[in-house]
């Protein structure tokens, strides 16, 4: 069979500054701040690419790559407005020259989801001056690197950047910085998008003009993130974007995206029952910021303290808050046995039916206290911790805001520490869980606005529909709070008075005080461990959530391929200003996941993957073929470059090596059918910090694996996919087909 791809086809790998480079605390970028304020995993040293770039370049060279993509750390390059660090540019110069010396083309990304704090203070991406601010930074980069870089990405995945300004009704938080605040309704979010989208088009235009002014032969583009929708569905979405008439019409799309179509009401108003803030729970309810954080531990008999894992017996886990999706096999080779209560678990331990009782450290410490000579508490650091939040039904933003205020006051006023000391006397009172900042708008310097579309305070307050639960509670005159009685220290009956007591009980009274001005106006509903706590909040409409999400996603323009539509001159000019169309030298795109037909559970998986839950993502190589074909039709004559394609350790039952083979076969087929495919870049060369998420198999896209948390040497270990990529690149170099 004749080879389809030329021998010099551009195969590459990629990194990004925030995800791979170490940083100095004095030079935090917006994502460092976001991760701290949202209590997410910080990048720390990341992969230490800044110091070990030669090692990673050699790995890419060893694969046979001819392209290496990296991004510029804007916060380091321009630490203060208009002041550029010559040493930083020297570093990137050495990096770029090392890539070229290894026989590879550098591809430089200028804005990879990140910006300096000083840009945030000046109004971030929606400030009127942002395009010019960005263009000045780009001009400085080009002056330093333009003679050794031909391929440029101005703005990484603009289609994802809107997640910092628009929050779908099924998400508790904004996906990216800066966020729009707790009380931002659809109007305010849409107004922000009406500033963001044209700013991104204008920023790309001005940046490309700076690059081409100094280096006319440069290849400049943008890489929108594209989901592999069935062609008819994608055509419908794109038609939605093209048909937007004006700001009011755009606001209608925002209304559908931001407001729950069926605000929910259940048999109780709020759950305060040691409910962990987990992915599956957050799919069903909205959480306050954490009010308590616990670590996992294991209670064992003294005689088995050193060999409990070798007894062959499972560990007991109490049904309820501990037994959730992150604890199904706490230690490799040791099973889990459910127990109805801590008392039942202790009976299992006494009868040697289990080797230990797994739970949170505070509860187990109380049990250990009962007979310290018989039991021993062992920390399980690898399991980390879990945080508890107050839960309310989705679609009730006003109630959630009140609960959030109460939680925050409870922690900041000293009431949390007092309650901790009262109910956990054997455990030292530490600081309460950190404060989650929903928006970084507080960093923006006050400035007079001249934009006639700015919303008044009253408009902000009335720009989203009020939920029915708080209104009903106000009518009845008290709050209904679900609690689990018997949680040590959290919620229990006082042995003397038989009244409910505990930290969660006191927090519930604080919520009632916030809403009614009276802490006694709360009725507690006892939940058994058999209750699924979220169903009491939402007994009926939960059944419709998945289809409602999918309908929302398919009925708005925000999931359209709006960037390429703008490049093609098809968007209205208030979104893509005149002169911004056609500002690309190749068609860039990122493709990861897709599906061939509309089935509710598969579409839910696709939407979930777009939100960062990659391990369950639907793998669909035909989607890459379709996307390449569509791009070729939209922009005849321009090469199409796959700027990102990649897979975590396993997605949807497909391992990374198989994923790579299937997608390169799809790319080869597209090239055989006439698509001018100009290059393919795998994300990523190594494991990396995936934007505040824990480092695990579900977030690791690396051809070379790094134990980011447990290996101080940060050793690069080849995965099977690295061998596959090397083999396929070698076939191309020999003039052989990939499949």
**Is residue 59 pLDDT above 60, yes or no?**
yes
What are 126's two structure tokens? 């929606």
pLDDT computed for residue 161 by the predictor:
95
506 or 39, which is more confident? 506
Virtual CA dihedral for 159, 165, 170, 175, nearest 10 degrees? 70
Give the residue from 661, 558, 656, 681 showing the smallest Cα distance to 610.
558
pLDDT computed for residue 369 by the predictor:
74
Place of tokens 């939605």: 240
pLDDT computed for residue 425 by the predictor:
79
pLDDT computed for residue 58 by the predictor:
98
**Is residue 325 pLDDT above 80, yes or no?**
no
**Is residue 531 pLDDT above 60, yes or no?**
no
pLDDT computed for residue 51 by the predictor:
94
User: What is this structure's pTM?
Assistant: 0.88
Model confidence at 143, pLDDT cuts 50, 70, 90, reads very high
**Is residue 543 pLDDT above 60, yes or no?**
no
pLDDT computed for residue 324 by the predictor:
45
pLDDT computed for residue 498 by the predictor:
86
pLDDT computed for residue 3 by the predictor:
75
What is the average pLDDT score of the chain? 87
**Is residue 358 pLDDT above 70, yes or no?**
yes
What are 453's two structure tokens? 């579309």
d(CA 316, CA 338): 6
What pairing do the DSSP bridges indicate for beta strands 479-483 and 292-301? Answer: unpaired
Lowest-pLDDT range of 92-96, 146-150, 454-458, 572-576: 454-458
293 or 328, which is more confident? 293
Other C-beta atoms lying within 10 Å of the C-beta of residue 203: 25
**Is residue 83 pLDDT above 90, yes or no?**
yes
591 or 172, which is more confident? 591
Residue range 386-408: mean pLDDT, rounded: 89
DSSP bridge partners of 286: 392
**Is residue 661 pLDDT above 90, yes or no?**
yes
d(CA 239, CA 57): 43
**Is residue 632 pLDDT above 90, yes or no?**
yes
**Is residue 329 pLDDT above 50, yes or no?**
no
pLDDT computed for residue 460 by the predictor:
47
The 3-state DSSP class for residue 174 equals: coil
**Is residue 637 pLDDT above 90, yes or no?**
yes
pLDDT computed for residue 529 by the predictor:
57
Query: Is domain 11-258+544-733 given the CATH code 3.20.20.80 in the classification?
Result: yes
Query: Is domain 292-387 given the CATH code 3.90.1150.10 in the classification?
Result: no
pLDDT computed for residue 549 by the predictor:
67
Q: Are 106 and 60 in contact (CB under 8 A)?
A: no
DSSP bridge partners of 655: 650
Instruction: Please tell me the number of Cα atoms within 13 Å of 622 on its side-chain side.
Output: 6
Model confidence at 433, pLDDT cuts 50, 70, 90, reads confident
pLDDT computed for residue 462 by the predictor:
47
pLDDT computed for residue 449 by the predictor:
46
Model confidence at 373, pLDDT cuts 50, 70, 90, reads confident
Residue range 222-227: mean pLDDT, rounded: 95
How is the chain split into domains, by residue range?
11-258+544-733, 270-291+389-539, 292-387
List pLDDT tens digits, range 228-249: 888 888 888 888 888 888 888 8
List pLDDT tens digits, range 500-522: 999 999 999 999 999 999 999 99
pLDDT computed for residue 137 by the predictor:
98
pLDDT computed for residue 461 by the predictor:
46
d(CA 103, CA 57): 10
Residue range 323-332: mean pLDDT, rounded: 50
Residue range 167-177: mean pLDDT, rounded: 84
pLDDT computed for residue 311 by the predictor:
84
d(CA 446, CA 123): 9
Q: What Å distances lie between residue 572 and 63, 128, 365, 676, CA to CA?
A: 44, 19, 63, 29
Model confidence at 450, pLDDT cuts 50, 70, 90, reads very low
**Is residue 438 pLDDT above 90, yes or no?**
no
Give the residue from 89, 77, 207, 92 showing the smallest Cα distance to 152.
207
**Is residue 566 pLDDT above 70, yes or no?**
yes
Model confidence at 675, pLDDT cuts 50, 70, 90, reads very high
d(CA 728, CA 712): 32
Model confidence at 453, pLDDT cuts 50, 70, 90, reads very low
Question: CA 337: distance to chain centroid?
Answer: 32
Residue 272 CB-density burial (10 A; 0-12 exposed, 13-18 middle, 19+ buried): buried
Model confidence at 448, pLDDT cuts 50, 70, 90, reads very low
What are 20's two structure tokens? 């791979």
């Amino acid at each position: 069979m004749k080879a389809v791809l030329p021998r010099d086809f551009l195969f590459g790998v990629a990194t990004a500054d925030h995800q791979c480079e170490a940083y100095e605390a004095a030079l935090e970028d917006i994502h460092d701040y976001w991760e701290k304020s949202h209590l997410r995993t910080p990048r720390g040293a990341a992969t230490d690419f800044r110091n070990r770039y030669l090692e990673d370049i050699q790995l890419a060279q060893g694969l046979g790559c001819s392209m290496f993509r990296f991004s510029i750390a804007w916060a380091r390059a321009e630490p203060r407005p208009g002041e550029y660090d010559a040493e930083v540019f020297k570093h990137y110069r050495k990096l770029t020259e090392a890539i070229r010396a290894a026989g590879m083309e550098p591809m430089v990304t200028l804005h990879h989801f990140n910006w300096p704090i000083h840009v945030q203070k000046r109004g971030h991406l929606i400030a009127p001056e942002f395009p010019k601010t960005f263009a000045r930074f780009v001009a400085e980069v080009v002056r330093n690197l333009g003679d050794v870089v031909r391929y440029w990405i101005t703005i990484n995945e603009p289609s994802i950047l809107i997640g910092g300004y628009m929050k779908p009704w099924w998400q508790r938080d904004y996906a990216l910085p800066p966020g729009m605040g707790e009380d931002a309704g659809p109007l305010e979010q849409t107004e922000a998008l009406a500033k963001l989208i044209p700013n991104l088009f204008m920023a790309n235009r001005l940046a490309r003009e700076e690059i081409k002014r100094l280096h006319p032969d440069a290849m400049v583009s943008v890489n929108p993130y594209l989901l592999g929708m069935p062609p008819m569905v994608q055509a419908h979405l794109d038609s939605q974007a093209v048909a937007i008439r004006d700001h009011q019409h755009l606001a209608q799309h925002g209304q559908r995206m931001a407001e729950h179509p069926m605000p929910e009401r259940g048999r109780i108003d709020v759950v305060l029952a040691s409910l962990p803030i987990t992915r599956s729970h957050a799919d069903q309810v909205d959480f306050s910021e954490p009010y308590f954080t616990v670590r996992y531990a294991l209670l064992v008999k003294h005689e088995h303290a050193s060999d409990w894992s070798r007894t062959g017996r499972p560990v007991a886990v109490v049904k309820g808050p501990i037994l959730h999706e992150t604890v199904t096999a706490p230690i490799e080779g040791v099973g889990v046995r459910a127990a109805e209560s801590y008392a039942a678990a202790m009976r299992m331990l006494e009868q040697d039916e289990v080797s230990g009782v797994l739970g949170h450290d505070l509860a187990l410490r109380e049990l250990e206290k009962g007979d310290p000579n018989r039991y021993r508490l062992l920390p399980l650091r690898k399991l980390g911790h879990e945080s508890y939040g107050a839960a309310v039904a989705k679609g009730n933003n006003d109630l959630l805001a009140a609960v959030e205020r109460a939680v925050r006051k409870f922690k900041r006023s000293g009431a949390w520490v007092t309650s901790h000391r009262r109910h956990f006397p054997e455990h030292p009172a530490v600081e309460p869980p950190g404060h989650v900042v929903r928006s970084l708008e507080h960093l923006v310097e006050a400035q007079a606005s001249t934009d006639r579309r700015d919303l008044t305070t009253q408009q902000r307050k009335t720009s989203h529909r009020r939920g029915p639960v708080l209104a009903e509670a106000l009518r009845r005159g008290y709050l209904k709070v679900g609690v689990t009685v018997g949680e040590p220290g959290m919620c229990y009956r006082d042995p003397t008075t038989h009244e409910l007591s505990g930290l969660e009980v006191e927090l519930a009274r604080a919520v009632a005080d916030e809403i009614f001005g009276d802490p006694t106006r709360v009725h507690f509903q006892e939940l058994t461990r058999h209750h699924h706590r979220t169903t009491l909040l939402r007994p009926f409409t939960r059944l419709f959530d998945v289809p409602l999400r999918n309908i929302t996603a398919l009925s708005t323009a925000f999931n359209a391929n709006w960037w390429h539509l703008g490049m093609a001159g098809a968007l209205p000019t208030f979104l893509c200003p005149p002169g911004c169309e056609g500002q690309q030298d190749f068609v860039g795109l990122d493709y990861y996941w897709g599906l061939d037909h509309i089935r509710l559970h598969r579409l839910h998986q696709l939407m979930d993957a777009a939100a960062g839950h990659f391990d369950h993502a639907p793998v669909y190589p035909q989607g890459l073929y379709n996307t390449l074909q569509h791009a070729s039709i939209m922009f005849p004559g321009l090469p199409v470059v796959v700027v990102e394609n990649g897979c975590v350790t396993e997605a949807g039952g497909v391992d990374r090596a198989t994923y790579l083979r299937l997608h390169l076969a799809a790319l080869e087929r597209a090239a055989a059918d006439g698509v001018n495919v100009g290059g393919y870049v795998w994300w990523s060369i190594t494991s990396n910090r995936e934007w505040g998420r824990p480092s695990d198999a579900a977030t690791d896209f690396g051809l070379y694996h790094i134990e980011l948390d447990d290996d101080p040497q940060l050793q690069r270990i080849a995965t099977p996919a690295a061998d596959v990529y090397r083999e396929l690149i070698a076939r191309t170099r020999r003039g052989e087909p990939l499949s």
